Amino acid sequence: MLLKSTMGTVLGLFPPKWLLGKSFRENCKFIHNAQWWPAERAREYQLNKLREMLKIAYERTKFYRRMFDSVGFRLGDINTLDNMNRLPTIDKQVVIDNLSDMCTKSVRDSDVDFGSTGGTSGTPLHFYMSASRSRVEYAYLTMSWERVDYKLGMPMAVLRGRVVNPDRNGFRHEYDPILRHHYYSSFHMSDGNMAHYLEHIATIGPCFLHVYPSSIAALARLILRDGIHTPTNIRGIIAESEIVYPDQQQMVEEVFGCRYFSCYGQSEKVVLAAGCEKSDDYHVWPTYGYFELLDDKGDQVTTPGQRGEIMGTGFINTIMPFIRYRTGDWATYVGERCEACGREHTVIRDIRGHRTQEVLIAADSSEIPWTALNMHDDTFIHVRQFQFMQETPGHALLRIVPADGFGDEDASRIHRNLRRKIDDKLSFGIELVDVIPLSARGKAIYVDQRIPRKQRQKNRKT
Ligand SMILES: [Zn+2]
């Protein structure tokens, strides 16, 4: 611990860009320049990337070979981007059913990571990805955040589902001196703790907040409710991973007096989009993946104002290609250029989808965002479907539809991994069931929350 902390102090003197390595710096440079390419150059880049991805998918995976052959598609058929529509689309269920046939190499290799996220209707989605993708992804995020004057190395206050252990005074804060990130626990958002977080944030110098939309909304509501002094050193708020509601964004901007900047992405890494210096509309990064917006009939949306489902073919995960992958998220088409900044990117707005702001209610009536509980590891590996049902603050029932191979070991792993995050805030039991009823699109999927909203607010005051 001492060595780590001493090393941290020394490394903290160097700019993070150098500590994150040469490939990170090269990625940043490429992305920084590529965002200003004229549309034609970006299209040429995409065409080459698509040819590469389709080639490895066809030559190295059983799944895509079967699929391309079934529709008579040949690798040489890709002469323009429009040719992509000759390929079928895939969705989460297709990935769940064909996981073992979709990888381009042995998943035991050291450059392969296992990933997981929430699928549709509470079904966990498992997949594999390149171990190098975090560095590429982080370069894209950093270059997006720079549009609102974030500079790598500026202090960042992070409230995003990390397990943060208490210090000797019981304060849940951890500091990473290399990235200069201050982590606070988003599982312990009681009024007292949140007030403490705000006091601490006020002392870290000019900084950005990196949050879930639901956690920053909780902080803003506390400030309004209790008349707490808003820290004046916050230069901007970066919100990701959940739906952004416009009225919530407006409230947060008013309370904190700074820009609320959103980025959109998925664990599957097919499409990444972010606002710009002047506009909150999402600019789709053309070098991250190939983006398509499809209407109900499966046709490309090209009329401004029309809505469609976000679909992508990712470029950064070569271990398990996601080709024409439907994300389940919907957006409104704006155009092929942002008039405010001049970038020739596809522009979309009003993203809505499966990532609603579902919450569990802790014993002290504080809210635990579902997004923070979402497990990105093997916790739910033998689970077909799951959902929390809650009727009392502080207690929930986790309903599980087991998959083949589910045993006592799985139940204890689920208990252990969830407890690491929620410890004394919430107790839960596990119930094995045959089915969990399907929810409508956009409705709660992971939390069947039965505590009335009115009662939750009443509890907070008492
Ligand atoms: Zn713009």
Reading the chain (462 residues) residue by residue, the pLDDT tens digits are 445 555 555 556 566 777 788 889 999 999 999 999 999 999 999 999 999 999 999 999 999 999 999 999 999 999 999 999 999 999 998 999 999 999 999 989 999 999 888 766 667 889 999 988 888 999 999 999 999 999 999 999 999 988 899 999 999 999 999 889 999 998 888 889 999 999 999 999 999 999 998 889 889 989 988 889 999 999 999 999 888 888 889 999 999 999 999 999 999 999 999 999 999 999 999 999 999 999 989 999 999 999 999 999 999 999 999 999 999 899 999 999 999 999 999 999 999 875 566 788 998 888 888 878 877 788 888 888 788 899 999 999 999 989 888 999 999 999 999 988 887 789 999 999 988 775 543 455 688 888 877 777 555 544
Ligand 1 centroid to 343 CA: how many Å?
Answer: 6
Ligand 1 centroid to 454 CA: how many Å?
Answer: 40
Ligand 1 centroid to 350 CA: how many Å?
Answer: 15
Tell me what pLDDT residue 460 has.
54
Handedness of CA 382, 403, 241, 42 (dihedral sign): positive
Ligand 1 centroid to 259 CA: how many Å?
Answer: 15
Residue 45: both structure tokens together? 């880049």
Ligand 1 centroid to 182 CA: how many Å?
Answer: 30
Residue 307: both structure tokens together? 């809505």
Question: In what helix (H) or strand (E) does residue 16 lie, and over which residues does it extend?
Answer: helix 16-19
Ligand 1 centroid to 345 CA: how many Å?
Answer: 8
Distance (Å, whole) CA 38 – CA 454: 52
Residue 374: both structure tokens together? 């979402």
Beta carbons of 214 and 367 less than 8 angstroms apart: yes
Tell me what pLDDT residue 441 has.
39
Question: In what helix (H) or strand (E) does residue 409 lie, and over which residues does it extend?
Answer: helix 408-422
Q: Which residues contact 208 (CB under 8 A, 6 or more apart)?
A: 145, 150, 154, 155, 156, 157, 234, 235, 236, 237, 238
Tell me what pLDDT residue 145 has.
97
Per-residue CA distances from 439 to 102, 387, 446 (Å): 28, 11, 10
**Best CA proximity match to 185, nearest among 172, 202, 199:** 172
Distance (Å, whole) CA 161 – CA 371: 7
Distance (Å, whole) CA 390 – CA 416: 20
Tell me what pLDDT residue 424 has.
78
Ligand 1 centroid to 333 CA: how many Å?
Answer: 14
Backbone angles phi, psi at 345, to 5 degrees: -115, 155
pTM: 0.84
Query: In 209-299, which ranges are continuous DSSP H helix?
Result: 213-226, 246-256
Ligand 1 centroid to 279 CA: how many Å?
Answer: 5
Backbone angles phi, psi at 350, to 5 degrees: 50, 55
